[in-house]
């Protein structure tokens, strides 16, 4: 058991290792703000893998030396929840001086780099300093995939281990496998939607949204479909808001230059009104995906939640982050900006998911090894399926 400090948590913890958004019962409190509930999936999943008897939060907005000194005596290590931190505009606030004074190991738990759509990634001095500080404090840094490992290698950080994301292993079952049902038995399908996307990462917004719309409509015509949102304000209001807020949300969508022109036609409006799902509680998403036969779409963690529960999922990749995840786990994926036409039948191929199953078991072993070599008390099972004591490096 251990005493754990979390840096940049994403939600409040209840019943030890369950996460929901802050004060989630007060819907109006956050109805007008965007928060990606997928980040809470990662936080929730991380806690499910760790053994601890005390959990605290390391605030990085203000450097208070006396508080930092007290935390040093009360906790054993800091963990940085896996997310997309390594990019051109990340602001770490006061994290560097706080972590330097704290002097505890800093566990990077599946962190990732995001490449811009154009040009090379340019990390700030602050980001580079924090990553080197993390590397010096631990045996290894757990990274999302090979691209992130290469970005760290380029700034002189060599001790990375590719561990994917804790969400994949949230059930902590090393025997978990994806077994496809016959296509003619598929009835209920989840579509993880992401209407808002930055041109910094998706190189062709019109193509992205056109494909997005056509995919949703095609799947909804063929199956009993649910559209799984993860935090955009308008989608939240349509699900959780008052009648006036729902009207305002639809007006806002119709007025949006991208959505109105390329995305929100009459059929999509109907689907948004009838098939949309959103919750501020991670467990609600897990309950939903367990009721589905198939999940496909754009949301990295929404799709991974399905796979973590044995439900087949197909990724639609559109940036370095989604591509890196698919590569790490060998998840069947379709390139939104490629030249092929998407045919669902081609992706519901057990041989594709057998590749995922084999690689998933290997990465499970790497995650076990990562936690073990860094002295982190955990609940994972030693399968013997790791690279031994070596740390994964880029050649």
Average pLDDT over residues 52-76: 97
HEC per residue, 160-187: EEECCCHHHHCCCCCCCCCCCCCHHHCC
Q: What pLDDT does 196 receive?
A: 86
CA distances to 117, 170, 203, 322, 347 from 120, rounded to whole Å, are 9, 33, 14, 17, 32
pLDDT at 393: 41
Task: Report pLDDT for 56.
Answer: 97
- Does the pLDDT of residue 384 top 90, yes or no? no
Lowest mean pLDDT among 148-157, 195-204, 291-300: 195-204
**Domain locations along the chain:** 3-173+361-373, 183-355
Instruction: Using the Cα atoms of residue 112, residue 311, residue 298 and residue 249 in order, give the sign of their dihedral.
Output: negative
Report DSSP state, residue 13: E
Q: In the block, which residue shows the tokens 């994403």?
A: 10
Rounded average pLDDT over 238-244: 97
> Which residues lie across from 161 on neighbouring strands?
142
**For the ranges 47-51, 262-266, 385-389, which has the lowest average pLDDT?**
385-389
pLDDT digits (tens, 9 = 90+) for 157-184: 999 999 999 999 999 999 999 999 999 9
Fold of 183-355: Rossmann fold (3.40.50)
Q: State what percent of residues in the chain have pLDDT above 70.
A: 97
Residue recorded with tokens 């203000």: 62
| Domain 3-173+361-373 fold | Rossmann fold (3.40.50)
- Look at strands 18-20 and 12-14 and give their pairing: antiparallel
Q: What is the pLDDT of residues 84-110, one digit of tens each?
A: 999 999 999 999 999 999 999 999 999
pLDDT confidence of residue 387: 53
Helix (H) or strand (E) holding 79: strand 77-81
Mark 214-238 as b/e (b = at least 16 C-beta within 10 Å): ebbbebbeebebbbbbbbbbbbbbb
Percent of the chain with pLDDT over 90: 89
The Cα 150–Cα 190 span in angstroms is: 33
**Is residue 281 helix, strand or coil?**
strand
Non-local CB neighbours of 73 within 8 Å, separated by 6+ positions: none
pLDDT of 262 strictly over 90: no
Q: Given pLDDT bands bounded at 50, 70 and 90, which one contains residue 394? A: very low
pLDDT on residue 386: 59
Closest CA to 310 of 173, 163, 166: 173
Q: 100, 105, 214, 173: which is closest to 383 by C-alpha?
A: 173
Mean pLDDT for all residues in the chain: 94
Q: Where does residue 295 fall: left (phi above 0), alpha (psi -120 to 50 degrees), or beta otherwise?
A: beta
pLDDT at 388 over 70: no
Residue 135 confidence class, pLDDT cut points 50, 70, 90: very high
Task: Quickly tell me which residue has 């305002």 as its tokens.
Answer: 248
Q: Do 183-355 and 3-173+361-373 have the same topology in CATH?
A: yes
Which of 97, 101, 344 is closest to 220 using CA atoms?
A: 344
Report the C-alpha gap between 264 and 320 in whole angstroms: 26
331: number of Cβ within 10 Å:
25
Q: Could you read off the pLDDT of 339-373 as tens digits, one per residue?
A: 999 999 999 999 999 999 999 999 999 999 999 99
């Amino acid at each position: 058991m251990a005493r754990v400090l979390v840096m940049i948590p994403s939600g409040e913890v209840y019943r030890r290792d369950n996460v929901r958004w802050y004060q989630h019962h007060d819907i109006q409190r956050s109805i007008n703000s965007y928060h990606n509930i997928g980040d809470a999936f990662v936080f929730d999943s991380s806690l499910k893998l760790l053994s601890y008897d005390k959990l605290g939060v390391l605030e990085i907005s203000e450097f208070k030396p006396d508080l930092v000194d007290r935390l040093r005596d009360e906790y054993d290590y800091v963990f940085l929840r896996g997310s997309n931190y390594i990019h051109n505009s990340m602001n770490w606030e006061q994290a560097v001086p706080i972590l330097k004074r704290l002097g505890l190991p800093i566990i990077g738990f599946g962190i990732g780099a995001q490449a811009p759509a154009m040009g090379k990634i340019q990390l700030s001095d602050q980001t580079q300093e924090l990553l080197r500080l993390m590397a010096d404090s631990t045996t290894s840094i757990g990274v999302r995939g090979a691209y992130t490992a290469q970005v760290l290698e380029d700034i002189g950080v060599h001790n990375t281990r590719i561990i994917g994301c804790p969400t994949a292993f949230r059930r902590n079952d090393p025997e978990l496998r994806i077994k496809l049902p016959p296509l003619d038995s598929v009835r209920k399908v989840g579509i993880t939607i992401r209407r808002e996307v930055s041109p910094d990462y998706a190189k062709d917004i019109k193509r992205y949204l056109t494909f997005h719309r056509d995919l949703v409509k095609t799947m909804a015509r063929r199956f009993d479909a649910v559209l799984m949102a993860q935090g955009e304000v308008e989608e939240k209001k349509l699900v959780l808001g008052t009648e006036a807020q729902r009207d305002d949300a639809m007006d806002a969508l119709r007025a949006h230059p991208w959505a109105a022109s390329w995305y929100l036609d009459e059929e999509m409006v109907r689907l948004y009104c009838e098939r949309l799902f959103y919750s501020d509680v991670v467990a609600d998403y897990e309950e939903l995906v367990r009721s589905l036969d198939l999940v496909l779409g754009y949301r990295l963690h929404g799709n991974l939640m399905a796979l973590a529960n044995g439900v087949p999922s197909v990724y639609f990749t559109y940036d370095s982050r989604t591509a890196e995840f698919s590569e790490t786990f060998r998840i069947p994926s379709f390139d939104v900006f490629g030249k092929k036409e998407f045919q669902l039948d081609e992706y519901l191929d057990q041989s594709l998911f057998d590749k995922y199953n084999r690689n998933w078991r290997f990465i499970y072993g790497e995650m076990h090894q990562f936690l073990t070599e860094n002295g982190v008390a955990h609940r994972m099972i030693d399968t013997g399926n790791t690279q031994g004591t070596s740390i994964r490096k880029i050649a």
